[in-house]
Every structure is written in C-alpha cells, then in structure tokens.
Amino acid sequence: MSDTKKKFDKKGARGMDEIAKTLFAPIYPVIAENLIRRFGITKGTCIDLGSGPASLGIAVAQQSDFSVIALDYSDDMHEVAARNISEEGLSERIRLLCGDVHAMPLDDDSADLIISRGSMFFWDDIHTAFREVYRILKPGGKTYIGGGFGNKELRDEISAAMIKKDPDWKKFNQKNISPENVERFHAMLDEIGVPEYEIILGDEGFWIVISKTEAGALL
C-alpha cells in the first residue's frame, strides 16, 4: 500500500470522520450551497471523488435531487461513510463506489456534476486523474474540485483551530493554496487540453471548475 493510501486506513478514517462531525461539520452544507448556487443544477448524477466519510455528498443530496456516487479507494472510509449515509436516511440516494480517481470504474460522459473536497492534494498523478474526470463528465456538466471551508468566517475559525491542534497543518494548507500549486494545476489543465475551465481562489477555497461542452475524452 502506498504511503498516501496508508493515511486513509482504519485510524485515518476514524480521525477524518471525527473531524468531519465536529470542527468541519458546518463547512459541508455551505460548500454544497455555494456550488449548487453557482451552477444552478440540482438533478442528475453527482460524483463525490475521495468522498471520505461522505459528508459533502450527504450535504449535496440534502439540498438537491441529485443521485450521488461516493467514490473512494479506502474501504475503511467507505465503512464510516456507509454508517453516516444510513444514519441520514440517504441509502437510496447515495451509492458507495470503491475506486481510484486515476482509473475510475465509470462510463464516459456519465456525470452531471463532479465534486471533491480535500482529496486532490493527495492524488499521485494529477494529469491522469483530471483526464479521467473529463472523460466521465457529461457535456453540459461541471466540476467543483479542490479544497476549502466555504466562506471567510469558517476558514478563519477552522484554520486557527487546526493550527492549534496540529502545527504541521499550517504548512500543508499553505502549500496547497500557494501560487506555485495553483500554477501547477493551471499548467496541468492546459497540458491535458481542457478547453474550458476556471480556477477559483478566494474566501470559498481553491476550486477547479471545468465546464464540458462536447462529448468525449481528451487526447
């Protein structure tokens, strides 16, 4: 197992679940609201990549009519996600799918919306992963992939608490939103030839919005 994947074993899954239900709890409904408001789409298939405990998928399902697929490569994360989905009474609306973002077991042009929070910073090969994202996105579909806390108040409050909890977190977070990292994602999207995209960097977080206009994968 890779060192990255080891972070998301049983202990990692328990830790992520705990933080998602406490300190991070208020961010998921806000992020869901932000993205639904931005795109104005509320039904179809939504795929949550690196879904972890499924908190974002749950928030999107609660605020829309989407059928959600929660994709993650960690069985331990799926175990906690299954519990959370069932506790929210959403087992009919959210399906768990075990898979790696670098080779997803999903059809071309099958997702109306692809969301992901706090996962892409762990992906080994962002070129391959985003080619996959583009392949499974439907024409007319959108992505909201990145990281953040939804708004300024939550960002400031949670960042301060995270730094107190874990001094290394500050470095990790600063690296993720550094101009060099934003440029790395910009360059990657240009290199793989994504025709239409926008990178949001602000109070709501760092998010990659891809708008797919034509069917098919990138070269």
Token reading at 198: 């926008």
CB closer to ligand SAM out of 20 and 162 = 20
Least CB distance to ligand SAM at residue 213 (A): 26
Q: How far apart are CA 114 and CA 71, in angstroms?
A: 11
Q: What is the DSSP string of 184-218?
A: HHHHHHHHHT-SSEEEEEETTEEEEEEB--SSS--
Closest CA to 90 of 133, 61, 126, 66: 61
Least distance (Å) between residue 19 CB and ligand SAM: 8
Q: What is the distance between the alpha carbons of residues 59 and 146, in angstroms, rounded to a whole number?
A: 16
CB of 51 or CB of 64, closer to ligand SAM: 51
Distance in angstroms (rounded) separating the CA atoms of residues 7 and 11? 8
Nearer to ligand SAM, 34 or 55 (CB): 55
Tell the smallest beta-carbon distance from residue 7 to ligand SAM (Å).
8
> CB of 8: closest distance to ligand SAM in angstroms?
4
Output 119 or 214, the one with its CB closest to ligand SAM.
119
Nearer to ligand SAM, 91 or 122 (CB): 122
Minimum separation from the CB atom of position 44 to ligand SAM (A): 20
The answer to whether the beta carbons of residues 114 and 47 sit under 8 Å apart is yes
Cβ at position 206, least distance to ligand SAM in Å: 13
DSSP β-ladder status, 67-72 and 45-49: parallel
DSSP character string of 78-118: HHHHHHHHHHTT-TTTEEEEE-BTTB-SS-TT-EEEEEEES
Q: How far is the CB of 172 from ligand SAM (least distance, A)?
A: 10
Asked whether the beta carbons of 131 and 158 are under 8 A apart, the reply is no
Rounded Cα–Cα distance for residues 74 and 51 (Å): 10
Q: Which is nearer to ligand SAM, 52 or 141 (CB)?
A: 52
Which positions touch ligand SAM (CB under 6 A)?
A: 8, 16, 20, 50-53, 55-56, 72-74, 77, 100-102, 117-119, 122-123
Cβ nearer to ligand SAM, comparing 14 with 38: 14
Ramachandran bin of 128, using left for φ above 0, alpha for ψ from -120 to 50, beta for the remaining angles: alpha
